[in-house]
Structure 1
Amino acid sequence: MQTWDQIINTALLGTDKRTLAINELPAELAEAAALIQTNTTDKEEQFLQIAALAFNYRQCGVLPLQKEGVTVSKAETEEKPYCSALAIQTLKDILDSESNSLLQFWLQLCEEKKQIVTPELVPALLTIGTQQKKMQNLLVACCGKRGDWLCQFNPEWNFSTATTQEELWQTGSAEQRKAVLEQLRKDDPAMARTWLQQTWAQEDAGTKVEWLMIMGANIGEADIEFLESLAKEKSKKVKEVALWLLKQIPDSPIVQQYQHVLQKTVTIGKKGLQIKLPAGLDEHLFKTTGLDKLSNSKDFTDEEYIIFQLVQAVPPAFWEFRLDSEPDIIIRSMQKDPVGKKLMPALVQAVVAFKDQRWATALMQNSQVFYIDIIPLLPVKEQEFYSIKFIDQFAENIIEHAIRREDTWSIDLARAIFIKTAKSVYQYNRSFYSRYIHCIPLDIVNELEKCAPGEDHLKNTWYNSSEYITTLINLKKQTIQSFN
């Protein structure tokens, strides 16, 4: 169409240097173009109206692509019911809010109720899935058969083609495979290990490290054989991570070896607890298990540093059998002994590494020092009690632990956190509250005013944040009501 070339030339040169003549237009447009020129004197306005007229005329003449032998089948009949009108409206509001955390919360409830979205929302959700890879499995479940059908028309949506965990593990994207392994490791650790072993030879070193980190969930005796076999891996990093995991399994040979050495190192005599390494320690212990022979601190002798490493590498329960005592008594005794006091941080690291909840509680109740890393091992009520108690001293650490939780905070903890975040408006901005709305209790709305900072220059910012938090909470409440 030569007319379109003339329009482009006019746009490039400007209407002062060139105007469209009626004879440059198709005959079918001459009457309409003459009418535009009669009713409009402004050159730019004339040009834009005639260009719009020509554009629509041009589009009307475009034929769709014809391809022989191509048939499009209908989508399969949906097996799940559509969610309610209220749920759909809530979803639309959440999409407008651009809160991914709320969207995930909505999708989780939708999946739990075994419902799906109505067809008009499927393309928007699949498009979101191209960016939010961690949500892909949820999005697939909530888009139903229509989602599976639509994916064939857009390669970017092909994540919806596999629906079972095994299919996703075999053919899914890296993010999908990661999500499958994480979930399976929680639900069926043995099956997760079997699947991993089946594809292990095909993975690169970076992926192997990532998979091994996921294996840390529910690590146990059944994983020992596989982890020990990785000593033959070419990648140094893979071998290091495998060794690190072995050190978290009480029954692994390496942990048993450490306990054997400590058995000879710790004695109980008339003077109380005595700690001294046995003579002629096997060099193999240092060469293959990662122990350092020399102290890296002026506060420890070489011998004390070796013992420190051993203490942090054995289950805390070892001390109960070795000293024939209870955790609280052992902790108090160690704090009275000069060397034992030095070893307390190592004991804390062992409690964290072996996820010993009994010893975590005993440490909180008997230690002279507050150890922040112990908090996640405590029962929820104790976590919240100590978090509120020490939030003034360890605000950032406690908030970091709180946002890792998957459950909802209590009103008291939420209030304590908001009092802190309200004073750091740049660090804890709107995106913070949006990202962790799943943790925020609904009733905190009534407490927001009490969380306001005393400084006048921060009050207005907190007022705006409070309004935003209220909007998010209302959407969260509406989501819950939608699926009840």
Structure 2
Amino acid sequence: MERWNHIINTALLGTAKKPADAQGLSGPLRQAADTILGNASLDREEQFLHLAAVTYNYRQSGTQPVTAAVPPMTVCTPETKACCPPAAIRVLQPVLETDSIQLLQLWLEYCTKANLLLPPAQLPVMLDKAWRNKSLRVLTAAAGGHRAAWLGQFNPDWNFSRVADTPEERWLNGATAQRVEALKEIRTTDPVIALQWLQQTWPKESATVKTELLGVLEEIPATTDLEWLESLLSEKSKQVKETVMRILKKLPGSSLHEQYWQVLAGAIQLQYDGHVVVALPELNDDPVFQSGIEKLSNNKQVSDETHILCQLISLVHPSRWETHFGRSAAEIMTMFLQQEPLKPFAPALVQAIAWFGDQERAVTFMQQSETFYIDILPMLPPVQQQELSEKFFDEYPEAIIKYAGNHPAEWSVALCTKILRYAATQPYTYNQLFMNNVIRQIPVAIAASLDDIVPSESYHVGYWNNIKVHLGKLLQAKSQLPGAFKKAEGRKAKSPRLQNKTNNYQLTSKAPKS
């Protein structure tokens, strides 16, 4: 109706500039407008509002309501698993209050391992948490049961909560996180089938999903993937091509790997007297530079040639040197550590060992070297990792903390003490969020020593004490997890609990009743 546009214009301009009038009205609506406009007791604003109300209701007259065929709501499939016991539900509340995703993930792992379900009252909260944190989705879907899948149909954010019984079903019908987990599972048992799954659905996937699925192949690269991966270098998506390039660099025998090795084999030669000569040939526009190898050094003390060779050595499997020089792994390590022409490339060899996850040569290298290389640390036996981390912590505190935080193994009490003592000197960096992110690695036994860990600077004391209180809550919840999921019939949980003393983080040996 044109008249309604006049009313909107009046509302925008104001009645002072455009007073309300009966222009364009006819019939009963014109009579009502004349009555309103002729009422001297109404000011211009009131006349306008009355006229707008009458016109609006006139427009609504005779409007038909929208109808739709709404299917009846389906009933949730009855659950076949039991809900977690009251003790576990009691622990869940403080776990949620800490806002630690790691601790919540640990709770969900206990829940799914015990083949139990989340309590219905907490299910919406957990589904929201999982929506915001992908690492929780598969566990939440498993612990949510049929009820979580049923709720997922009413909220698109929760559509990851559909539970599938087999890897094939998860792959075909699951959300992206579930498909990734299904691909990982089948990849470990039958890599050929996993590759077939990818090839069949590849054209239908978005670039983001393709990148996530390729991440499964990147974790454990296989030579059986080579031909297909090489064909993906023509993909349009930049992120997909970059991921493919990274995987190919981890596969000895790929075209990239062989290009790198051809350059190195010509540049580094062993003479008859046992000495090595290093001379990089002129490359100019060699294809290796198109794969991400940098031509120019950003360090004045490192020449461009050395910089190029370091990059190439770090991306070539260390076993190639044994064939090239005709020496054992231990002899190769000694050559890189002792011969002057090769010494600048020893760190690059360390990076190659780490890049290809070569555990055997990592141990060999550390046996030959007097220098500590943190890149090799993850590939050493767990006991040796802890020993070296403790031994060299004072020299490389931040690097070791970064590595230890990314490694899933729980820290020894000695290493944890060193890390927390260092954290107390920089509480604004290693704050409550840091504790949330590493609570899985922090041993519960450290609670008994927290009072002894104090900052060196007095102005850090108050802030650090707040962090310790928060860490105490995390440790208290963590200490209760093992016993919370045990059956309560005739058994008592034997996990220690934290006594609320001073800052609420002193351990006692008394066990709570389930």
TM-score range, shorter chain: 0.7 to 0.9
Return 207-216 or 397-406, whichever deviates more.
207-216
Scaled by the length of structure 1, what TM-score is found?
0.76
Cα distance in 1 for residues equivalent to 2:274 and 2:148: 70
Partner of 1:89 in structure 2?
Answer: 90
**Which is helix-richer, 1 or 2?**
1
Query: 1:42-191 residue pairs with structure 2 within 5 A?
Result: 71-164=72-165, 165-178=167-180, 180-181=182-183, 185=187, 189-191=191-193
In structure 2, the residue corresponding to 1:219 is in which secondary structure?
coil
Instruction: String of CA shifts for 1:195-216, please: whole Å, max 9, x gaps.
Output: 3222222334454344434421
Q: Aligned in 2, Cα 1:85/1:304: closer, same or farther, shift over 3 Å?
A: closer
Cα distance in 1 for residues equivalent to 2:78 and 2:237: 49
Return 403-412 or 461-470, whichever deviates more.
461-470
Q: Aligned in 2, Cα 1:296/1:96: closer, same or farther, shift over 3 Å?
A: closer
Instruction: String of CA shifts for 1:431-452, please: whole Å, max 9, x gaps.
Output: 2212221111111111212322
Return 263-272 or 408-417, whichever deviates more.
263-272
Cα distance in 2 for residues equivalent to 1:470 and 1:244: 41
Query: Between the two proteins, what is the percent identity of the paired residues?
Result: 35
In structure 1, the residue corresponding to 2:270 is in which secondary structure?
strand
Partner of 2:217 in structure 1?
Answer: 215
Task: Give the superposition deviation at 1:110.
Answer: 0.8
* Aligned: 1:455 with 2:463: no
Cα distance in 1 for residues equivalent to 2:349 and 2:275: 15
Task: Give the superposition deviation at 1:307.
Answer: 4.2
Q: What amino acid is aligned across from residue 93 of structure 2 in structure 1?
A: K
Cα distance in 1 for residues equivalent to 2:108 and 2:172: 24
Task: Give the superposition deviation at 1:79.
Answer: 1.6
Task: Give the superposition deviation at 1:278.
Answer: 9.2
| Selected match of 1:483 from 482, 485, 496 | 485
> Which ranges in structure 1 are unaligned for 5 or more consecutive residues?
1-65
* Alignment check: 8 A CA contact 1:107 1:138 kept: yes
Task: Give the superposition deviation at 1:411.
Answer: 1.1
Instruction: String of CA shifts for 1:270-296, please: whole Å, max 9, x gaps.
Output: 442223569798986647766567777
Return 326-335 or 261-270, whichever deviates more.
261-270
Q: Aligned in 2, Cα 1:405/1:286: closer, same or farther, shift over 3 Å?
A: closer
Instruction: String of CA shifts for 1:269-326, please: whole Å, max 9, x gaps.
Output: 3442223569798986647766567777665666655544442232112223333433
Q: Aligned in 2, Cα 1:276/1:428: closer, same or farther, shift over 3 Å?
A: closer
Q: Aligned in 2, Cα 1:312/1:419: closer, same or farther, shift over 3 Å?
A: same
Query: 1:136-285 residue pairs with structure 2 within 5 A?
Result: 136-164=137-165, 165-178=167-180, 180-181=182-183, 185=187, 189-259=191-261, 262-263=264-265, 265-276=267-278
Aligned length: 419
Task: Give the superposition deviation at 1:130.
Answer: 3.2
* Aligned: 1:428 with 2:436: no
Cα distance in 1 for residues equivalent to 2:218 and 2:292: 19
* Alignment check: 8 A CA contact 1:286 1:292 kept: no
Cα distance in 2 for residues equivalent to 1:163 and 1:452: 50
Q: Aligned in 2, Cα 1:237/1:155: closer, same or farther, shift over 3 Å?
A: closer
Cα distance in 2 for residues equivalent to 1:338 and 1:367: 15
Task: Give the superposition deviation at 1:224.
Answer: 0.6
* Alignment check: 8 A CA contact 2:259 2:288 kept: no
Q: Aligned in 2, Cα 1:281/1:93: closer, same or farther, shift over 3 Å?
A: closer
> Which ranges in structure 2 are unaligned for 5 or more consecutive residues?
1-66, 487-514
Q: CA RMSD in A?
A: 3.3
| Selected match of 1:442 from 434, 441, 444 | 444
Q: Aligned in 2, Cα 1:311/1:96: closer, same or farther, shift over 3 Å?
A: closer
Return 160-169 or 99-108, whichever deviates more.
160-169
* Alignment check: 8 A CA contact 1:189 1:218 kept: no
* Alignment check: 8 A CA contact 1:102 1:437 kept: yes
Q: Aligned in 2, Cα 1:77/1:303: closer, same or farther, shift over 3 Å?
A: closer
